[in-house]
Amino acid sequence: MARRVTIADIAAAAGVSKGAVSYALNGRPGVSEATRTKILAIAAEMGFVPNRAARSLSVSSAQTVGIALRRPARTIGIEPYFMELISGIEATLSGGSFGLTLQIVGTVQEELEVYRRWWAERRVDGVFLCDLGTSDLRLDFVADLGLPAVAVGGPVEGARFPAVWHDDVEPSRDILEYLYTLGHRRVARIAGIPGLLHTAIRDEACAETAAGLDFESATMVHSDYTGEQGAQITRRLLSSANRPTAIVYDNDVMAVAGLGVAHELGLEIPEQLSLVAWDDSPLCRLTHPALTSLTRDIPAYGAKCAEVLLTLIGAAEASAPPGPEARAFSVQCKPAQLSPRGSTGPALV
Amino acid sequence: MARRVTIADIAAAAGVSKGAVSYALNGRPGVSEATRTKILAIAAEMGFVPNRAARSLSVSSAQTVGIALRRPARTIGIEPYFMELISGIEATLSGGSFGLTLQIVGTVQEELEVYRRWWAERRVDGVFLCDLGTSDLRLDFVADLGLPAVAVGGPVEGARFPAVWHDDVEPSRDILEYLYTLGHRRVARIAGIPGLLHTAIRDEACAETAAGLDFESATMVHSDYTGEQGAQITRRLLSSANRPTAIVYDNDVMAVAGLGVAHELGLEIPEQLSLVAWDDSPLCRLTHPALTSLTRDIPAYGAKCAEVLLTLIGAAEASAPPGPEARAFSVQCKPAQLSPRGSTGPALV
DNA sequence: CTGAAAGCGCTTACAG
DNA sequence: CTGAAAGCGCTTACAG
């Protein structure tokens, strides 16, 4: 059982005060170069690592950020999105020696409670807000608390903190025009959860684009993102009188499920049906044919979110509580790019 | 911007000392029932939540456990396993008001560094060790540190801390006998990473079982669990002279990829090829046909792991450093159950 | 440039 | 049963 070394040990070994050790360790003035070098050497030799709790208590900073995920236990694993996001966040955090605290919650109320507790305990210095809703309780709640946050998604109207987001309008246009060019005139989109911000944005953009192209039909059905619903809605769409020749899915999981249904019905892909997945992940390349997708770099996205949060925390520490200038930190990322693969082809019907 | 309340605020409001407040809050003797009730009421009214750092510093416990995941950023999302495990862990933790710190690392060395830092910083009270290797550096490292840990997997020989694991021998037998009974005589298994403990256990158990049944061939190929390798190895196996009529995959991702290859080659499933996925997840029900799997309840598994770690931490606090009695905490979970679905059928070749 | 001291917000022996 | 005090391990004004 190893022993933890404290600044008192170093001070004793170096023959200086604890204060001097602290100054030396933190690169602040107050010690001569000679003593600094000596102290640093001793600290390194003794394998000193500061006690987090003591440091946090002194500087009122947890050196930790938090993320709360609201998903049922059994379905959270299937979405590659979150783990990719988290791994991107981590990439930025490790550099700044920040930790990440993760909590899975069931309801918004629970989520709000978690934020309040984290804030009250000073357990985190800031949080990531995922799955933004069209009117999202959490925004004001967290801002009122004075807890720094970044919205993972957007754009957010009158935000009191920064958002990191992708434009979904352009991809909406891209995908519909792509299908139109391939000759598809009956298209459907199995959209995500209606209350979500990006669902609403896609809904509107798709409707607008569709209106500008003379589709025979452009259907839209909301879902809960699960494979079950993806399959069920696909089955319904494909058994309708004038079935679509192309279906766009708001996530990869539903697209894979949709492909399964197409196989089950004996449809040739893409000859009889084209499929597109919004959000790319390795999952899309697992199937045959591989799924045409709208690709974003999620780990890079997570890294950017973390960058913005760290900046905000630094700023919030330096100056006043996060004010309107927080918006200035917002960053819009490159929109998703269409990656055509085997699941889409000319409409032959 | 809300304000944080401290025990000093409560003490002032109640007209008692901070010590009395602490005793009352922690349900310890030292205050009369009357004052206790009064203090509790005031604390509740003021919305008191103790500052973690201060508490941690006093009691030398972080009220946090840690998990380090060693996976590349871009592939970590695809394995539903980790998120399911984490969500199970969380379910237990939230009850005990413990937090979970997550870190993604690239190499074992990095992982060891993380444990050392967490321990030195007193950032966590214990850790989960995932992806156990056949000879695993981390076991002694963490034990030498005196950092409580539970091995997520096993069994571990001469462990200095508890393991929570599933028997893989029985499922190995189950699956091969099942395929044999269906008439399959040429089977293959695309195994996981060779250095992993459970890969080794499955390898041995499968070899032994196969030896007892008169298979014409029972091939085994190691992989890295990715869809790419799953696909590539499947393609190679299926284009060999005496191709297998059934393939078992060590995870669900490779099985899905294998199914993609089978579709690509125009094979009828299960008429011309049976496929089995070791480790079930919603992914297995997304495809057509759905994949026959070896099912375990991963969230429940995670919950059990957390339970054991919390017990260990409690014990470690109460008594000496985790000694040999730690083994007593080890728990063996119910082995994976075979869930036959559409991807397996009688061998017709 | 250096040392001694106070303080962060808790917990916990120790006297009354 | 209660209060005053010391201590956890840091940081940071404040005197010398």
Q: Cα separation of A19 and A97, whole Å? A: 23
Confidence category of residue B320, pLDDT binned at 50, 70, 90:
very low
Q: pLDDT of B27-52, one tens digit each?
A: 888 888 888 999 999 999 999 999 99
For residues A307 and A93, give the distance between their C-alpha atoms in angstroms, rounded to a whole number: 8
Is B2 inside a domain boundary? no
Using CA coordinates, name the residue in chain A closest to B83: A77
Residue A187 belongs to a domain: yes
By residue range, what is the domain housing residue B259? Answer: 169-295
Q: Do B227 and A260 touch (CB under 8 A)?
A: no
Residues A79 and A148 in one domain: yes
Residues A284 and A318 both lie in one domain: no
- Residues in chain B closer than 8 A to A290 (CB atoms): 260
The model's pLDDT over A194-233, given as tens digits with 9 standing for 90+, comes to: 999 999 999 999 999 999 999 999 999 999 999 999 999 9
Q: What's the structural domain count of chain B?
A: 3
Q: In this structure, is the dihedral angle defined by the CA atoms of residues B232, B233, B235 and B236, taken in order, positive or negative?
A: positive
Residue A342 within a domain: no
Q: How confident is the model at residue A318 (pLDDT cuts 50, 70, 90)?
A: very low
Round and report the angstrom distance from CA (A56) to C1' (C6). 17
Query: Which positions in strand D are less than 7 Å from the protein's CB atoms?
Result: 1-14
Indicate if B178 and B284 belong to the same structural domain: yes
Same domain, A198 and A149: no
B40 touches strand C (CB under 7 A): no
Helix axes A80-95, A298-318, angle to 10 degrees: 50
Q: Tell me which of A90, A121, A296 to substitute to probe the interface with B (most B C-beta atoms closer than 10 Å).
A: A121
Statement: residue B286 has pLDDT above 60: yes
- Mean pLDDT value across residues A135-162: 92
- pLDDT, tens only, A66-114: 999 998 777 788 889 999 999 999 999 987 689 999 999 999 999 999 9
The answer, yes or no, to whether residue B263 has pLDDT greater than 80, is yes
Contact criterion met (CB below 8 Å) for A282 and A256 = no
The verdict on a CB contact (< 8 Å) between B53 and A53 is yes
Asked if the Cβ of residue A109 lies within 7 A of any atom of strand C, the reply is no
Q: Residue A346 domain-assigned?
A: no
- Give helix B7-14 / helix B33-46 axis angle, nearest 10°: 120
User: Could you read off the pLDDT of B16-27 as tens digits, one per residue?
Assistant: 888 889 999 988
CA-based end-to-end distance of chain A: 72
Is residue B255 domain-shared with residue B277, that is, in the same domain?
A: yes
Quick one: A71 and A34 in the same domain?
no
Residues B146, A74: C-beta atoms closer than 8 Å: no
Question: What is the arithmetic mean of pLDDT over B314-337?
Answer: 69
Would you say residue A349 lies in a domain?
Answer: no
Q: What pLDDT shows up at residue B318?
A: 46
Question: What pLDDT digit, counting tens, does each position of B56-79 carry?
Answer: 999 999 999 999 999 877 778 888
Q: Is the CB of B62 under 7 A from strand D?
A: no
CATH classification of the domain holding A242? 3.40.50.2300
Residues B183 and B285 in one domain: yes
The verdict on A125 and A197 lying in the same domain is: no
Output the average pLDDT for chain B: 92
- The pLDDT, as a whole number, for residue A1 is 62
pLDDT at A310 over 50: yes
* Chain B positions in Cβ-Cβ contact with residue A6 (cut-off 8 Å): none
Q: What is the mean pLDDT of chain A?
A: 92
A231-251 per-position pLDDT tens digit: 999 999 999 999 999 999 999
| Residue B23 belongs to domain with CATH number | 1.10.260.40
Lowest mean pLDDT among A106-115, A131-140, A173-182, B28-37: B28-37
- Mean pLDDT computed over A107-125: 95
Judged by CB atoms closer than 8 Å, whether chains meet at A77 and B81 is answered as yes
